[in-house]
Homo-oligomer: A and B are copies of this chain.
Amino acid sequence: MIDRADAERLDAADALRAWRDEFVIPDPDLIYLDGNSLGMTPRRTVAALRDAVERQWAGDLITSWWEHGWLDMPLDVGARLAPLLGAAPGAVAVHDSTTVGIFQLVNVALDLGTAARGGPVIAIDRSDFPTDRYVAEGVARLRGGEVRAGLDDLDGVDVVVRSMVDYRTAEIADVAAETARARAAGAETVWDLSHAVGVLDLDLPALGADLAVGCTYKFLNGGPGSPAFTYVAEHLHDRITQPIWGWFGQADQFAMDRPFDPRPGIGRLLNGTPGILGLVGAREGIAVTAEAGIAAIAAKARELTELGITIADQLGLETISPRAAERRGGHVAIRHADASRLHGELLARKVVVDKRDPDILRLGMSPLTTRFTDVFDALTTLAELTQQPSGER
């Protein structure tokens, strides 16, 4: 039996424990297990945003685009993120939203492939995250194609859209095998890494993944709606054409009288004027993760989720996340018929978790801010609440 003293011992031995001090802790009693929806605020981000607003924008005004590197931020922040993906610095750009990024890369993938004009087929799992499914539907409509629900049969499929980590169960897809299987069927795969980046130690080139997107506001702690990233393997850069052409994707951005001529490299994924404040948040969050070390973070995520599953078992809670650590992302999903009630009652006790309809409670374990005792206390509280049905039911 695991008891609280065991969790305390794990915290005391945790090599990453000091990183929690790098974050704003708004309430010492708060147990925040929602870093996989919105990560906590790095202290350095508070300072960096004040600087960007109060010294750069307010003080240096338009010259900041050059003097403070704003023009280069989407690629500069992309280069800082790249090592977390195992990618080359020039293979990643940070810009726009995950939705826009998927839209761009699905179109890129369709143009790379052999899809007959008029009938592209995009495959996606029925249970994948809604925005991924919606983008696929929208592109299929725009290009006169169709969406195939389900990934078992990829015959005739042009593009697969797929999350690496299931947003409900935390199950990790076998990226290498699934990318290869799709490729053997003639399909490119666009990987959504939103629940993977910053918590798994990724090596996209080794996995053979050529196209990926993800967000920076979960485990990377970039802030609310901070920009997403796009990754395109370098060997494809000269062959891709993305659909949203704008002045930040132009080879000579300030040439005013020329036709569109895409930038070399990943810069061609850029389009409109980037949101600088969002990029500042992304940059700082990425820096914290990079400095702490993604290998150590990924290792602690496995320990945290392992502890969570063990305690859930011990308390009689139903876990639907994989028991094999190598198949599990950075959260643990508990299934309970009273998920909605429990979610609210946990919140009232300062235990913040996610609810995903109809019956899932998702406990995100973000290694830089989550303590082993947080996992113990949250699940213990949850188990107690399951024994005290409220009058609301």
Interface residues of A (CB under 8 A from B): 24, 26, 32, 34, 37-38, 40-41, 45-46, 49-50, 53-54, 57-65, 70, 96-100, 103, 107, 117, 126-127, 129-131, 133-135, 137-139, 141-144, 215, 217, 223-228, 241, 243-250, 254-260, 271-279, 281, 347, 352, 354, 356-357
Contact = CB atoms under 8 A, between A and B. Distances in A.
Contacts of A134: 245-247, 249-250, 260
A97 B273 contact: yes
B40 A224 contact: no
Q: Identify the interface centre among A37, A215, A243: most chain B CB within 10 Å of its CB.
A: A243
23 contacts: A38-B57, A38-B64, A41-B58, A45-B53, A50-B50, A96-B97, A98-B272, A98-B273, A99-B245, A117-B144, A129-B256, A130-B256, A134-B245, A134-B246, A135-B246, A141-B241, A142-B243, A217-B273, A225-B275, A227-B275, A277-B277, A277-B281, A278-B278
Contacts of A281: 277
B62 A53 contact: no
Contacts of A274: 97, 225
Given A100-B272, A225-B275, A244 B62 contact: no
A135 B96 CA distance: 16
A97 B246 contact: yes
A61 B49 contact: no
A245 B277 contact: no
A250 to B, nearest CB: 6
A137 B259 CA distance: 8
Contacts of A249: 134
A368 to B, nearest CB: 15
Contacts of A117: 144
Nearest to A241: B141
B34 A100 contact: no
A247 B41 contact: no
A279 B277 CA distance: 10
Contact of A226 (B59, B248, B259, B275): B275
B256 A356 contact: yes
Contacts of A271: 97, 99-100, 103, 131
B277 A224 contact: yes
A26 B246 contact: no
